[in-house]
Amino acid sequence: MMFERFVDHLACHGDDVAVITSEQTVSYAELATRVADRAAELGTRRKLVLLETRNDLPTLVTYLGALAGHHVVLPIPAGGDHRSVVETYHPDVIVTDGVITEGPRHRPAHELHPDLALLLSTSGSTGSPKLVRLCRFNLAANAESIATYLDITRTDRAATTLPMSYCYGLSVIHSHLLRGAALVLTELSVVDDDFWESFRTHGATSFAGVPHTFDLLDRIGFEAMSLPNLRYVTQAGGRLDPDRVRRLAGLGARSGWRFFVMYGATEATARMAYLPPELAHDQPESIGVPIPGGSFRIEPVDGMPDGTGELIYRGPNVMMGYAHTTTDLAAGAGVEELRTGDVARRRADGLYEVVGRSDRFVKLYGLRIDLQRVESALHAYRVDAICTDGDGLLIVGAAERPEDCDVASVAADASGLPRAAIRVVDVDEIPRLSTGKPDYRSLRERAAERATDDARLHLRGLFADVLQIDAAEIDPRCSFVDLGGNSLSYVAMSVRLERALGHLPADWQRLPLSELESARKTRRWWGTTLETSVALRAAAIVLVAGSHAELWVLWGGAHILLGVAGYNFGRFCLTPLPRATRVRHLASTIGSIAVPAILWVAFALLVTDDYAASNLLLANKFLGPDDSMTAGRLWFVEVLVWVLAGLALLCATRWGDRAERRWPFGVAAAFLALGMALRWDVFGIGLGKAAWFTMLAFWFFAIGWAASKSSTVWQRLAVTAVLAVGIVGYFGQPNREALVFLGLALLIWLPAIRCPSAFTVTAGVIAEASLFIYLTHYQVYPLFGEHRLVGVLAAIVVGILLTQVANTVLRKWIHSLTAVWSKRGQTATAVLERQRGVYCTPPSENRGPKA
């Protein structure tokens, strides 16, 4: 058996790769030598080894060396407060960063059961001294079962996304070493670009995640990633929403990898059940079937329907029992089957489904939380409270408490959860059943009602106000993009949403309103989040106005604005919505720019000589006059409108729409290549060198477009390289070129910045008014003569005021066009119903390009 002759098992794989880190690659033969040496360092007398774990080579070698030397390992997360564990179990040695130190002295030697190999916490990082006792047979049996149903082979390479102190993370290590596969050891998070760079470089074939992992993956655009070696993805550590299971299963099917939903517990070493990937799309609510060698039975529970009861598991991976003190370490196996505490049923198709819980433990953020322990901690602070879970949060119903007591902080400390995961509900008295027992269901309902009502009323009001639609027409399953939001209304919505929620969720514009309603409000003292594109719009328009008024000479702002326009085009116009909806949104965006420009030119023609009749058509560069500097002032608007019009025609075609969905970055890169060809006049059509007044400026728009579709480091590097090549010598003004390069490079690499709330609001207001500031500043600042600063400030204020006035009129006009377009006054939601066969499919199922 693997864990009996551990070093021999490792050595038999010879020169095959066993471990890959950022610094080195270690073969199985070398790993066997290191493990044997570590076992020798730990000595021949069996010891209790407290191991502070990191996902690095020293930790792995120590863990394996302890097992090889028949010691008992107690892994804990590095850097935490583990005093209660140390004081309870008095480990013989403590290993930190690979350094072995003696444990507490003047204690009698531990009496350790001969089969005992591993002690694991039942509650993640809560610091509870209650431990699960596992023997070598448990570890070997579970590793074999997992390796069998995952079909792990020696060519597999698993990236370590979970801590080694967690049974799920250890199961990945055990099952891969059993089959001679490799481990890619990393401490990086899945939100780090370097993690995915390492994943691709080392040919990793799998990774494991808890529900929170997949929350993070949604935020970084996992669906659009290219991972050619990925073979399968596993999920455990808590229930994953069925819709997300279905979406991930579909993504895996399209991308060539398999998605395994698994069910387990530390008490079962790791796994008890798995859902075969081919069933995940159609049966996403099921936990599947027992793992090889295991079995379930349903024990009836009073008050439950027939066939529904507590789920009982039996198998060779069931723990020896719990440990509460050192005396328990000498006890033998006292558990034959595991009472999971979950209420489940066996369906007619043979699959098992968990329908609820029968105990006082909940899984949140991958941690098993003892609710009674949290309540006891609150009672110690003289807080009359009860706890339950709901909406992925720990809910605390608090009645009487000291005035200076922060209930959320106490609950966070006791549970090990982040403070943002605690929802405190103030109640006059603890809700109770007729029997006098706490009414947890009532507490969950109160928390959900209050959170939903408050968020729904506030956020629907924001959406209705910004988009100028009736709040009653807003379906909670629709997103900002679904409801017709574009790059102009986006600025106002993002600033107001950030203020409402306390943070701006990643990809919020595609999240359904129902998800935004449940977002936690988490204020941060160091400021708020401001998207880089918004900051650049505000800064660029101020530079433009000030340079034209000769307050300063900092040219290049309009070209930055053109890049930002391309960036927003990729985000708001090229969305997963149906083709007709895409084109309609593009038409609305073009109208939002062209109509105000034409109206302002018409007004200016009546009172000034600044423009020519060709400006009414936004076609001065096509129709002339060529020698009019004032007529050429609107070049930026002309370029933007005609570029968007051309791309709208492309998106209206079936082949163009299909190509962009299948290769989002590739299509953007192709247009960037076309823009660069025009910039260098590759076709020899003599467009001239006065590029800032011609359609040659399209390549700036294409840079922003490509940046919005860049999901990997190499793609961002490629776009940056093209920007560098294109900008050098473009203006013949090094300072101008440096300014534009810096602005667009920030757009490529820095999605958001953190700044004071007042700055965020100011930048948002100016960015939202950037179009009107651009249109009107030519006529405003000259009114103030040599008072240039006053003139520029006046131009900004006029632009802001006109924006506020025009928003209502313009958006109502766009809304009426939408009603005419659909002929029946259909809202964006109804259009989606007709095209998708549902009322409004949540964007969580639509997000990202279609394969």
pLDDT of residue 521: 46
In contact, 338 and 295? CB cutoff 8 Å:
no
Q: Work out the pLDDT band at 848, boundaries 50, 70, 90.
A: very low
pLDDT of residue 195: 96
Residue 437 has pLDDT above 80, yes or no: no
pLDDT of residue 687: 53
The set of residues, in sequence order, having a beta carbon less than 8 Å from that of 351 and lying 6+ positions away, is 275, 279, 283, 286, 287, 288, 289
Rounded mean pLDDT of 73-95? 88
Residue 472 has pLDDT above 90, yes or no: no
Average pLDDT in the chain? 84
- pTM metric for this prediction: 0.51
pLDDT of residue 485: 74
C-alpha 767/C-alpha 792 separation (Å) is 15
The set of residues, in sequence order, having a beta carbon less than 8 Å from that of 599 and lying 6+ positions away, is none
C-alpha 357/C-alpha 444 separation (Å) is 14
Task: Choose the weakest-confidence range: 32-46, 204-218, 438-452, 836-850.
Answer: 836-850
| Cis, peptide link before residue 625, omega less than 30° from 0 | yes
Query: The domain 361-430 is classified under which CATH number: 3.30.300.30, 3.40.50.300, 2.40.160.10, 3.40.50.1820?
Result: 3.30.300.30
In contact, 512 and 478? CB cutoff 8 Å:
yes
Q: What is the pLDDT of residues 198-234, one digit of tens each?
A: 999 999 999 999 888 898 898 888 998 999 999 999 9
The set of residues, in sequence order, having a beta carbon less than 8 Å from that of 111 and lying 6+ positions away, is 327, 329, 330
Structure tokens at 693: 């007044």
Percent of the chain with pLDDT over 70: 85
Structure tokens at 524: 């941060």
In contact, 715 and 665? CB cutoff 8 Å:
yes
Domain boundaries, the chain: 6-357, 361-430, 547-752+776-826
In contact, 273 and 291? CB cutoff 8 Å:
yes
Q: What is the pLDDT of residues 641-695, one digit of tens each?
A: 999 999 999 989 999 989 998 899 999 999 999 999 888 877 776 654 433 444 5
Structure tokens at 548: 């034209």
Q: What are all long-range contacts of 356-361, with beta carbons under 8 Å and residues at least 24 apart?
A: 358/301, 358/310
Structure tokens at 662: 């299948």
Task: Choose the weakest-confidence range: 92-101, 134-143, 350-359, 468-477.
Answer: 468-477
Map 263-297 to HEC letters: EECHHHCCEEEEECHHHHCCCCCCCEEECCCCEEE
C-alpha 799/C-alpha 429 separation (Å) is 54
Q: What kind and span of H or E run contains 254?
A: helix 242-255
Residue 99 has pLDDT above 70, yes or no: yes
More confident position, 573 or 657:
657
Q: What kind and span of H or E run contains 148?
A: helix 136-150
C-alpha 820/C-alpha 434 separation (Å) is 58
Q: Work out the pLDDT band at 834, boundaries 50, 70, 90.
A: very low
Percent of the chain with pLDDT over 90: 52
Burial of 370 (0-12, 13-18, 19+ CB in 10 A): buried
Evaluate whether the domain defined by 6-357 bears CATH number 3.40.50.12780.
yes
Orientation of helix 788-822 relative to helix 757-768, angle to 10° = 70
- What is the torsional sign of CA 801, 804, 809, 810? positive
pLDDT of residue 359: 61
Rounded mean pLDDT of 793-812? 82
Q: Which of 33, 40, 1 is CA-nearest to residue 18?
A: 33
Phi-psi region of 96 (alpha: psi -120 to 50; beta: other; left: phi over 0): beta
Rounded mean pLDDT of 431-454? 72
Rounded mean pLDDT of 603-617? 88
Rounded mean pLDDT of 558-587? 86
Residue 737 has pLDDT above 70, yes or no: yes
Rounded mean pLDDT of 44-66? 95
Both ends of the chain: CA-CA distance in Å?
Answer: 44
Task: Choose the weakest-confidence range: 346-350, 466-470, 598-602, 831-835.
Answer: 831-835
More confident position, 109 or 751:
751
Rounded mean pLDDT of 484-493? 70
Q: Work out the pLDDT band at 366, boundaries 50, 70, 90.
A: confident
C-alpha 2/C-alpha 178 separation (Å) is 7
3-state secondary structure of 558: helix
Q: What is the pLDDT of residues 231-278, one digit of tens each?
A: 999 999 877 889 999 999 999 999 999 999 999 999 999 999 999 999
pLDDT of residue 342: 86
pLDDT of residue 524: 43
Residue 499 has pLDDT above 80, yes or no: no
